[in-house]
Amino acid sequence: MKITVKTVAIRPPAPPNAERVIDLPDGAMVADALAKIGLERPDGHATLLNDETVPAGIRAETPLKAGDILTVFTAIKGG
């Protein structure tokens, strides 16, 4: 299945393209997509699946389907 991955404000070493289509096997989860794009510390990033937040604790159980859009960005910190 093919999904679109968008990365926003990722510091080096960052995935090479800010937006791309990746191919994953049927039954893949959000965690599988993050592993495929090669983020150094995926838990340090926020993720949206079709504009819905996917917390780090459930990425391994959150299934993907063809045509999904996964957005990954640096979590904003401060105080």
Residues 20-65: tens digit of each pLDDT: 999 999 999 999 999 998 877 888 889 999 999 999 999 999 999 9
Complete domains list, the chain, with CATH:
2-74 (3.10.20.30)
What is the separation of C-alpha 1 from the centre of its chain, rounded to a whole number of angstroms? 15
| Predicted TM-score (pTM) of this structure | 0.87
- The residue among 56, 36, 45, 34 whose CA lies nearest residue 10 is 45
- Which distant-in-sequence residues (6+ apart) come within 8 Å of 49 by Cβ? 30, 62, 64, 68, 69, 70
